[in-house]
Amino acid sequence: MDMISENRKVVLIGTGMVGMSYAYALLNQNVCDELVLVDVDRKRAEGEAMDLNHGLAFSGSNMKIYAGSYDDCGDADIVTICAGVAQKPGESRLDLLQRNTAVFRSIIDPVTESGFNGIFLVATNPVDIMTRITAVLSGFNPRRVLGTGTALDTARLRYLLGEYFHVDPRNMHAYVMGEHGDSEFVPWSQAMMATKPVLSICEESNGKYCCEEMERITEEVRGAAQKIIEAKRATYYGIGMALVRITRAIFGNENSVLTVSAMMRGEYGETGVFVGAPCIVNRNGVQRILQLSLSDDEMAKFKASCKTLRTHFDELELQ
């Protein structure tokens, strides 16, 4: 795998709302040189390629974009999977599991048979489990298989904290950890404005800011996807940009800290499960996982989230 090659190649599998939001953001941010669109609905992929290509004259990019097949994965650097069925209103992410496992069986085999030797990036829900399924079915080193995890939730959290404290979200350092779903949580002991703990700011503010508001913000982050789905059926721009952020960290060999879904290898006392945690991401994929100094209560929440994910994965009886 030559990630510093001149030609940064991405194969996108699943050209629905999420996949195309990613593709559109890739084009606008000029993040790769070659983008191949693959979908079970070949016509859709072809139409999307045409539509994007017609924007090239207005963009600062000379990206090569075309509808292709799994054979095109052979020399790709990143295969991004957004194929699957989206959540219906009221449906939990875990309900999707059975349907999307069948979809992934039809994708991972032909990708690996193409000789692909790059990095898998997964967005399909339930993302932590779909990422683990990708690792199992491909047999890839788990470092080279990552999911979007709680990257988007973390962006939502930082945005809301920025609003609450009237501070640039980029100076709000806080993470959503655990399952991208109902058992996710915010380790507030680790949330900082610049280098000052958010909880101390609340305590010292004489009531201007309060810790209870932090719980409201957690709930708002947790419920954001359902709220958007109720209003406009699906969420896609935010996740598309989260995928581009991760893609950029890989191609740029950035060693950026992102809360992707990665396989635990003893971190937080967990092994084997794929779950959202702050990771250092570079051209090797997940270079390493950061171990935050979680409180006992936060550690219990992380463990409970991992347990949920492990149970659902085990229920699949994969292989």
Strand, helix or coil for residue 296: helix
Q: Is 41 a residue that touches ligand NAD (CB under 6 A)?
A: yes
Please, which residue, 35 or 107, has the CB nearer to ligand NAD? 107
Q: Does 312 qualify as catalytic in the annotation?
A: no
Q: Is 123 a residue that touches ligand NAD (CB under 6 A)?
A: yes
Q: Is 40 a residue that touches ligand NAD (CB under 6 A)?
A: yes
The one catalytic residue among 54, 166, 173, 180: 180
Q: Is 19 a residue that touches ligand NAD (CB under 6 A)?
A: yes
Q: Is 131 a residue that touches ligand NAD (CB under 6 A)?
A: no
Q: In this chain, which stretch among 14-22, 50-58, 216-224, 262-270 interacts with ligand NAD, using CB under 6 A? A: 14-22
Q: Is 80 a residue that touches ligand NAD (CB under 6 A)?
A: no
Q: Is 70 a residue that touches ligand NAD (CB under 6 A)?
A: no
- Out of 202, 239, 275, 309, the only residue in the binding site for ligand NAD (CB under 6 A) is 239
**Residue 14: closest CA among 80, 65, 77:** 80
Q: What is the DSSP letter of 247?
A: H
Whole-number minimum distance, CB 291 to ligand NAD, in Å? Answer: 24
Please, which residue, 181 or 285, has the CB nearer to ligand NAD? 181
Separation of CA 110 from chain center: 23
**Residue 73: closest CA among 140, 24, 20:** 140
Whole-number minimum distance, CB 126 to ligand NAD, in Å? Answer: 8
SS3 readout for 193-230? ECCEEHHHHHHHCCCCCCHHHHHHHHHHHHHHHHHHHH
CA distance 258 to 121: 13
**Token code pair at residue 256:** 């950026």
CB-based contact 187:303 (threshold 8 Å): no
145 CB-near residues (< 8 Å, 6+ apart): 119, 120, 122, 131, 134, 135, 138, 263, 274, 285
Helix (H) or strand (E) holding 2: none
- Out of 12, 23, 76, 83, the only residue in the binding site for ligand NAD (CB under 6 A) is 83
Please, which residue, 202 or 261, has the CB nearer to ligand NAD? 261
Q: Is 187 a residue that touches ligand NAD (CB under 6 A)?
A: no
How many residues belong to the site for ligand NAD (CB under 6 A)? 30
Tabulate helix, strand, coil % of the chain (nearest 5): 50, 20, 30
Q: Is 137 a residue that touches ligand NAD (CB under 6 A)?
A: no
Using CB under 6 A, list all residues that contact ligand NAD.
13-19, 39-41, 44, 82-84, 86-87, 103, 106-107, 123-125, 127, 148, 152, 180, 234-236, 239
Q: Which residues are catalytic?
A: 180
